Amino acid sequence: MTFPGANADRGTGAYAIVGAPLDVSTTFQPGARFGPERVRRFSRSFEDYDPETDGRFSGRDVYDHGDVGAVGAIDDAEEYLTFLEGELADLRTDGLTPLLLGGEHTVSIAGVRAVDPDVFVCLDAHLDLREEYAGDSYSHSTVTHHSLDVADRAVIVGARAGSEAEYERASEVDVTVVPPEDVSEWTPEFGGESVYLSVDIDAADPGFAPGTGTMEPFGLRPREIRRVVRGVAPHAAGFDVVEVNDRDDGQAAALAGKLLRAFVFARADS
C-alpha cells in the first residue's frame, strides 16, 4: 500500500516517503513496526485538496519508496540504522526530501545522519537525552543524544518527561526545551540554519493519540503540533513522524498522516 496521493516516481519526485518499521527497543507498548502501514491505511480517507494552500497532495510530487526492512525481521538496531541511513542518503543524492514513517523513534537517528542538519527540532513528550537505557545505546530514549553528535543544537518541543540527568543535560547551551504550556507562543527562528524535523506522536496528549509506545499525559493538542510543523517545514531538509503503533482505533495513525501532509504542503508552498 502506498501513501494516498504519493503518485510520483523516484525520477520525478521532490519528496520520498520511507517506511521504517523498527521496533526493537520499545519499553512499554510495542507495535511501532506496524506504524508505517497504519499511517498509509488511515490516510486513505483524507481529501486530496488542502484549503490552506489551495493545492492537492497528489500534485506535490511525492514518491513512496515503500518500507526499508520487513516487519518483524529486524533485531539489530545499529545495523538497521546504517542501512537506512544509506537508503536516505541515496534519495537525497537524487534530489528528494526524505519523509520517514516510523517505527520507533530510533529511526530518526538515521534521518539526521543522512540529512546532516544544523538544528534538530523534535516534537516529543520525552527529552530522549539518555546515553543509554537498560544497557542499550540505541534505545528510542537516546535519539536527541545521538542527534547532537550531528547537529549543532536541538530544540525539543512539548517535552514533559525525562530523568534528572536528562534535565541537567537539557540545561546546556546547545539544547532548548519548549514545555507544553509555552508551545502556543513559540516561534521558530533559524536564520540560514538547516533543520531536521522529527515528530514523536507521543508529543500529543494521549487523549488524541493513544496508539503509541509510551503515553505521557498533559500533552499537546493536534492544532498546536500542526502549527509547529507548518512553521518549521520551510526550513527543514528532512522530516519524520514516528512511534505510531497498533493499539488504538487509528487516532495516532490518522494524526501522523495529516502531519506528514501538513509538512509537504507548507514546505512546497514556502
The residue that leads in pLDDT, 138 or 110, is 110
Instruction: Cell numbers for 179, please give them.
Output: 514545555
The rounded distance, in Å, linking the Cα atoms of 203 and 126 is 8
Mean pLDDT of 198-210: 98
Residue 213 has pLDDT above 60, yes or no: yes
pLDDT score at 25: 83
The domain spans of the chain are: 15-268
Q: What's the pLDDT score for residue 71?
A: 55
Confidence of residue 76 (pLDDT cuts 50, 70, 90): confident
Would you say residue 72 has pLDDT above 70?
no
Percent of the chain at pLDDT > 90 equals: 89
pLDDT at 229 over 70: yes
Choose the weakest-confidence range: 1-15, 59-73, 115-129: 59-73
**pLDDT average, residue stretch 60-75:** 83
pTM, two decimals, is 0.96
| Class at the top of the CATH hierarchy for domain 15-268 | alpha beta
Residues 239 and 41: their CA atoms lie apart, in Å, by 20
Mean pLDDT of 31-58: 97
8 Å CB contact between 237 and 196: yes
pLDDT value of position 73: 58
Query: Using one digit for the tens of pLDDT, what is the confidence trace for 150-186?
Result: 999 999 999 999 999 999 999 999 999 999 999 999 9
Q: What are phi and psi of 167, to 5 degrees?
A: -70, -30
pLDDT for 52: 93
Q: Looking at residues 210-224, what average pLDDT do you find?
A: 97
**Mean pLDDT across the stretch 233-252?**
98
For residues 184-221, b (16+ Cβ closer than 10 Å) or e, as one string? eebebebeeeebbbbbbbbbbbbebbbbbbbbbeebbe
Average pLDDT, the chain: 95
